[in-house]
Structure 1
């Protein structure tokens, strides 16, 4: 496993490029977001996605999330109307995952098997944004919650100890918060909060 010590506010471009190279090679990394650390891999990745499913013991019904730089790419992956787009624009970037109806361009492995939905998230974290800018495409992301645990891991040294031989790269940006994203389901006319996390979204309801 490669470890990259990246500055949380001013990410070093050379190290970001090295981490992105791992993503491009179908590798699984752990990186910081605007809440806690998370798993990340390239969209369309086979090996890394398989590895992620094994580590987290995820079923095929798991709702995956795409981390996007901004909303300009959203139409490629999610079907949103004008009202939804305005709501999304008003609430991004933020630690919120929006569950939306997936478009046909979303690989079948990623859209929720029964519901055909996808999670979309726009982070404000400088490292996450730098990774997305260098990748020039969304990153598949998943909370860093291990089986038999409800807690997110916040200390990179604990992460290294627990996952060192299972992941390919770790971006160490110091201890993060253990907060989770707020999850909002926007697939029907009635907006529903699935998980209340770091962001207050009461204005959406």
Structure 2
């Protein structure tokens, strides 16, 4: 049964953030808020946790398109090929924010990203995932929680999310109601921004 932690962005308690980080360090899968929708994630460097995440999504790990959640742009060089100054300025102007930017991947990606030529990078404008990544010391991964509702594409109520995923994940962070609009996906691999999916973020 998943534990539920109430961590609100107005006053996130450090001891609760540390508890979430410990779950990740132990190979756990968590549900956490962002500046868009609630997402499922784990430690990017824990292969078994990544396999669990793929299983929850009903896909094979080698087919995943999980985004990488960073707390700032300092992690980019770990996972992406060198970025031109103009592209870096563009990223800096729009992050943190409700965007997923597709960039060319380098060979330093973890084994669970083997074969990926590109990678999606997110820096959400939400203090909770930012603090989690900062305390963990490296990025976590993100994949969306879809709703079973025919009208709503994404689940927004953390209590209902917890009910649905209580046997699948180890921890659910309740930060109040989430959004029901996902991030805007922008491909930057050609040098010019190309919107692949219009979401909450406006260029």
Relative to the length of structure 2, the TM-score reads 0.91
Superposed counterparts of 1:52-67, under 5 Å: 52-59=53-60, 60-67=62-69
The separation in 1 between residues aligned to 2:125 and 2:149, in whole angstroms, is 29
Identify unmatched segments of 5+ residues in structure 2.
none
Match of 1:33 in 2: 34
2:170 corresponds to which of 160, 168, 171? 168
* Alignment RMSD (CA, Å): 1.8
Q: Does 1:195 align with 2:190?
A: no
Identify unmatched segments of 5+ residues in structure 1.
none
The separation in 2 between residues aligned to 1:178 and 1:26, in whole angstroms, is 28
Match of 2:138 in 1: 137
Q: Does 1:86 align with 2:96?
A: no
Q: CA deviation at 1:33?
A: 0.4
Match of 2:106 in 1: 103
CA 154–53 in structure 1, closer or farther in 2 if over 3 Å, else same = same
Preserved CA contact (<8 Å) 1:55 1:146:
no
Preserved CA contact (<8 Å) 1:44 1:107:
yes
Partner SS state of residue 109, structure 1: helix
Match of 1:16 in 2: 17
Deviations for 1:98-136, whole angstroms, at most 9, x for unmatched residues? Answer: 00011111124225x4x5111111111011111112112
Partner SS state of residue 5, structure 2: strand
Q: Does 1:49 align with 2:44?
A: no
Deviations for 1:135-156, whole angstroms, at most 9, x for unmatched residues? Answer: 1211111111268977111111
Preserved CA contact (<8 Å) 1:10 1:126:
no
Relative to the length of structure 1, the TM-score reads 0.91
Q: CA deviation at 1:8?
A: 2.4
Aligned residues: 199
